[in-house]
Amino acid sequence: MLMSMSSDDVFSTTISRQVWDTKYRYRDDGTIRDASIEDTWRRVARALAGAEGAARDAWEARFYALLEGFRFLPAGRILAGAGTGRRVTLFNCFVMGVVEDSMDGIFDALKEGALTMQQGGGVGYDFSTLRPCGTPARAVGGIASGPVSFMRIWDSMCGTLLSTGARRGAMMATLRCDHPDIERFIDAKRDERELRNFNLSVQVTDDFIRAVHADAAWPLVFPLARLGTGESGNAGEIVMRRWPGTDQAVACRVLRVVRARPLWDRLMRATYDYAEPGVLFVDTINRLNNLGYREHISATNPCGEIPLPPYGACNLGSINLTRFVDRPFAEDARLDLTALAEAVRVAVRMLDNVIDISRFPLPQQAEQARGSRRIGLGITGLADALMMLGIRYGEDRSFQLAASVMATLCHAAYRTSAALAEEKGVFPFYEPDRLLQAEFVRRLPADIQDAVRRNGLRNSHLTAIAPTGTISLLANNVSSGLEPAFDCQYRRRVRQPDGSYEDFELIDYACARWRERDADRAVPAAFVDARSLGWSEHLRMQAAVQPYVDNAISKTINVPADLDFPAFKSVYERAHALGLKGCTTFRPNPVTGAVLATDEPAAGSHHCCSIEREAD
């Protein structure tokens, strides 16, 4: 029998109630509309069931049952906006359109980003289209200042929106590893005052990794047609590259040649010192993209779990695994995978309906979301569920269970999407022969491929594992996403509506449940905190579930401050070898600070999309 939760004990922690009250409780001109969390669940269930026509009442009841007790956690924009009538988007994050290399194009892109963030969406950009610093700006006879200089305008815009009381913004900036300004991009945040509203990630290609291993020369290039006629545009050999905004490889001028290994070391040193930039293994992303036949991806949402084409959007939700543990902490504790699969069937339908009822800041975003019907269903509470099952995060059994969970979720999601396609129709960008040849689809069980062949798919993508810091706090501080528990008891800084931070003393959900059973024992036998795990255990967990995630995974690889630099580099090299789509590490440092602490909270400015600024 699954764990139940009555209305009297929905919130077992002060911070959970405060998160609901300040972030997700519906108020209309100061009048409270959600008297209780049950009202919030009912509001969201009713809004999403509005896409079900004559069957809306039946689906509202099923949606509510899944939301009740935090069994399913839709992303924050859905919880906050669905059923309110406000002119807001229910999508958390977007990748914006290609930034045209002209003053008009740059400021049009800036405006689109501002309009999107105004409605609560985070934004991601690939700035590789902007000419490198020092090349001629042929239209005005000047010299280009490069991508990083223009990123500062976006950073100021985001900061201005924050000061006006809009939801805090989050932005991702990516740059190709062969762009001539790549060193400037890598070093951009060495000054702790720079680009604080951005996350940065470098698009790392397979060719670059091979060049690093071979200690080979690495050409830095830019499309010939976009260069001016000065010296930079007339020197160097011509190579062919697929560039953002192009449908095929174009002629590019080699502007400089560097050694691949020192460039890689520079990137690694930056992230070793101050946790940025992250790394996107962009060839893996595109090779495993179900829609690779019609789109090329070069950017992600701000936390990296949804690689997206221009104007693509995140539609996220997470199954709370702690609610599917039978007989927690008992010797015969088990995870109910049958109930999990049934929950997935309902959750997929809920997220699919979000697409139909949501507003969009821009018409191009609506077209892309409705054309692909991408969703990103994932998990949260994994570490706590493992503790409740008596399994230590990082042991072989933990990887096996996580893989089993994600296989169950993925396969149930695809079966549901095929059934929805039969009921409601396929996603408009669907091309049956080409989708069935996609590498991820070809890995699915034969019965799913047969169902897709018969019915098509309702959604081009279905699974993602997002950071769930805030909605996990809402659910009584369950462990976040795929991450291990930070600690059994710790302090967390939480951003308040006025922009200030308040410290809270927190107890991990599984530890709190354990203490209810046995107050004399400090922690469950299977407890392990994030800092006690080696980096290889973090990576193995991410690798265990990656085969069942068609979007991507947001996972932070915690490494100790005293990890030596060669070992640190091997984290990323191993991540690439394991077939991961990206890698993000966190090594304690004075630049990013911290939002979680076992003792005194760290000083310093926090990372743009740390656990406090995640995609919910």
Four-residue CA torsion sign, 400, 406, 408, 414: negative
List strands edge to edge, sheet with 93-95: 93-95, 122-126, 171-176, 198-204, 278-281, 582-586, 556-558
User: Would you name the residues annotated as active-site residues?
Assistant: 301, 303, 305
How long a stretch of residues is the chain? Answer: 616
Q: How many CB atoms lie within 10 A of CB 247?
A: 9
Task: Round to whole Å and give the CA distance between 126 and 312.
Answer: 13
Identity (one letter) of the amino acid at 56?
R
4: Cβ contacts below 8 Å, ≥ 6 apart: 69
Strands, E assignment, 364-513 = 376-380, 489-495, 501-507
Six-digit token string for 22: 């300040």
Select from 248, 267, 293, 270 the least CA-distant residue to 179: 267
Please state at what angle helix 260-274 crosses helix 206-214, rounded to 10 degrees: 110
Please state at what angle helix 337-357 crosses helix 37-49, rounded to 10 degrees: 70
Select from 425, 300, 313 the least CA-distant residue to 368: 313
Do 316 and 466 meet the contact criterion of CB atoms below 8 Å apart?
Answer: yes
Four-residue CA torsion sign, 201, 205, 211, 214: positive
Strand partners, 250: 241
Burial (CB count <10 Å: 0-12, 13-18, 19+), residue 120: buried
Bridge-based pairing of strands 171-176 and 501-507 is unpaired
Six-digit token string for 355: 């697409």
Burial (CB count <10 Å: 0-12, 13-18, 19+), residue 47: buried
Angle at CA of residue 399, ends 485 and 350, nearest 5°:
75
Q: How many CB atoms lie within 10 A of CB 324?
A: 23
> CB-side exposure of 184: number of CA atoms within 13 Å?
18
Peptide bond before residue 262 is cis, with ω within 30 degrees of 0: no
Do 94 and 121 meet the contact criterion of CB atoms below 8 Å apart?
Answer: yes
Identity (one letter) of the amino acid at 4?
S
In DSSP notation, 267-302 reads HHHHHHHHS--EEEEHHHHHHT-TTTTT----EE-T
